[in-house]
Structure 1
């Protein structure tokens, strides 16, 4: 799924609704049904809504969301039937890239987390305490690989620069990336799970969070922007880096393929692998599209760009976007490797590093060739995962 801009083309509304219901068939025990509004205890009403980008009557991208239209009151805890329905949906297979939103209490959010931990589910959950909305994302391989490479590259380059300047391990060893983590804010009752987090481990400082990374490949740009602003405005992190990835022209609604044996399934999977690799390398399409039998399993990576958010004395300063890919063209050779914003001083508190010249030095962590190769490989893996989601064996 991709970052989605603008409003849907209403001419293709029927196609959008059909595609969304194919994605969200899991909300009905009988399969795909027509949209309906249901009344029950604890949840006022539920419906399916979609946000799309469409062109020439062809659905390009679809985000299906389960949302509650009317929130439960702040005084009421949601009924057990409400949470049970949410958990029932999360226990069923969902494709990577899916985004679901539920209005629940803080207690409901915590039950979702307990369910994830108990069954080792691979999704991320953020909770907005003001709107009482839980946002559940099922990341794609492209999303995960991009975030991992950015965070690792930033930490490695900052440590290298400090070591070359003669700074000892007592400082550099404290710069660390943190794996999956949930950050809670007492100011508004929110819980966030960033795509990447760099900390400086100092038990005597209340400013351990140094840089937060947010990757957008399964949400709108406005939603990504709000997520980045939250970290700075709540005082949780002084610097936020966002990586925005936009996919165009992926097909939707692929039919399930049922195989009698694992050998038949694996042989068909290999045909997809061979076709995708031919398109990537021989046909020089490292950024897509990846197509097989007339179906586009990954569209074109239209845009990939970085932005940074920084706390100042009175406002949040946002940088101009730095593009690696623009309009489907790799322009990474011409980018500023330091993003024009990330400095050594962003990784280490002033009390540990007072050398102003070193603190102001740009961290040139981007290696364009390495990063673009990662994008191409991750696009391939994402397309293949989408294929595998449509494969099934006869029971």
Structure 2
């Protein structure tokens, strides 16, 4: 390594959950720092590279809310396909998840929150990519899901954009022991769950401190290429966009459960299915019950994680 590397210095800093930092870097510098991270066998931070802009992307760990909603989206689609659409067991076995952290096309390396993959023998086909952004710049979220669709050729991209209202940053309480911390966090967790009865999308407040801000907005969008000639670096516009939560209130009652376009043919390759009618079968995966339960659980876990000390 050179005597001074901005990129190495940044990956050595403590990173808050859901943080993404863009650092100008050459491909060679990215590879050197990536080798260091791999040798240390540390899962986070992750390091990606945008070869079209010569930018390294430093990615912090996902918050509990981020992880919960990425898993919930993929789980809901798989459940609908495997349980409610009457597929044979042979076809159902081919439907799997991928959580690879680094995917390459040309000079660009990116991760994703998850993808649905269909495996047929030794042939794997990327079908649906999922991205969740928690207070992430919208342009960054669009770039991430567009790359999966345009560069990796996923048939469909689904992105969820979550906006938490800004809150004052406060120091973590100074606990005298891990036992005191665990006891305080357990009491706070029950308190936060009670607060959700009146304020299902926050804020979560304890002793005058806001540990999770009110949810300003949750939007779910779908992305797909209109034709096969799109270059890998294209930034797509959403084909469908639905607001689920607005200013702390659920407003997604009229959102169609298939988001007006998610079909069985987006989950399983056409050649496996039995005709156009089967390919066009709606996948009615979006429902308020799982959305609320997973979202609120993620809010509470994120809030209590913010209360914990930052022990190494």
TM-score, with normalisation over the residues of structure 1? Answer: 0.70
Work out the CA distance in 1 between the residues paired with 2:166 and 2:253. Answer: 25
Whether the 8 Å CA contact 2:172–2:306 is kept in 1: the answer is no
Work out the CA distance in 1 between the residues paired with 2:246 and 2:41. Answer: 40
Work out the CA distance in 2 between the residues paired with 1:255 and 1:235. Answer: 42
Which residue of 133, 148, 154 corresponds with 1:216?
A: 133
Work out the CA distance in 2 between the residues paired with 1:93 and 1:204. Answer: 41
Against the structure 1 CA distance between its residues 362 and 100, is the aligned structure 2 distance closer, same or farther, given a 3 Å change threshold?
A: same
Against the structure 1 CA distance between its residues 361 and 271, is the aligned structure 2 distance closer, same or farther, given a 3 Å change threshold?
A: same
Residue 217 of structure 2: aligned partner:
303
Which residue of 131, 141, 147 corresponds with 2:53?
A: 131
Residue 14 of structure 2: aligned partner:
93
SS across alignment from 1:201: strand
Alpha-carbon deviation of 1:161?
4.4
Residue 233 of structure 2: aligned partner:
none
SS across alignment from 1:358: helix
The list of structure 1 runs, each at least 4 consecutive aligned residues, that deviate by more than 4 angstroms after superposition, is: 314-317
Mapped pair 1:266 → 2:186: no
Which residue of 225, 241, 248 corresponds with 2:158?
A: 241
SS across alignment from 1:160: helix
Which residue of 278, 287, 292 corresponds with 2:194?
A: 278
Against the structure 1 CA distance between its residues 211 and 287, is the aligned structure 2 distance closer, same or farther, given a 3 Å change threshold?
A: same
Whether the 8 Å CA contact 1:249–1:296 is kept in 2: the answer is no
Q: For residues 94-109 of structure 1, what are the structure 2 equivalents within 5 Å? A: 94-109=15-30
Work out the CA distance in 2 between the residues paired with 1:241 and 1:112. Answer: 31
Residue 305 of structure 2: aligned partner:
385
Alpha-carbon deviation of 1:229?
2.1
> Larger relative contact order (C-alpha < 8 A, sep ≥ 6)?
2
Whether the 8 Å CA contact 1:128–1:190 is kept in 2: the answer is yes
Structure 2: 5+ residue runs without aligned partners?
Answer: 231-235
State the Cα RMSD in Å: 2.5
Whether the 8 Å CA contact 2:196–2:202 is kept in 1: the answer is yes
Work out the CA distance in 1 between the residues paired with 2:210 and 2:305. Answer: 13
Q: For residues 173-212 of structure 1, what are the structure 2 equivalents within 5 Å? A: 173-186=93-106, 189-202=107-120, 208-212=125-129
Work out the CA distance in 2 between the residues paired with 1:364 and 1:171. Answer: 19
Against the structure 1 CA distance between its residues 175 and 269, is the aligned structure 2 distance closer, same or farther, given a 3 Å change threshold?
A: closer
Mapped pair 1:110 → 2:31: yes
Give the paired residue count: 304
SS across alignment from 2:253: helix
Alpha-carbon deviations, 1:293-316, whole Å to 9, x = none? 322111111211211111222676
Q: Over alpha carbons, which structure has the higher Rg?
A: 1
Alpha-carbon deviation of 1:317?
6.7
Alpha-carbon deviation of 1:203?
5.9
Work out the CA distance in 2 between the residues paired with 1:126 and 1:94. Answer: 15
Work out the CA distance in 2 between the residues paired with 1:123 and 1:148. Answer: 20
Against the structure 1 CA distance between its residues 269 and 170, is the aligned structure 2 distance closer, same or farther, given a 3 Å change threshold?
A: closer
Alpha-carbon deviation of 1:98?
2.4
Work out the CA distance in 1 between the residues paired with 2:182 and 2:266. Answer: 48
Residue 2 of structure 2: aligned partner:
80
Alpha-carbon deviation of 1:197?
0.7
TM-score, with normalisation over the residues of structure 2? Answer: 0.87
Alpha-carbon deviation of 1:264?
3.4
Whether the 8 Å CA contact 1:137–1:218 is kept in 2: the answer is no
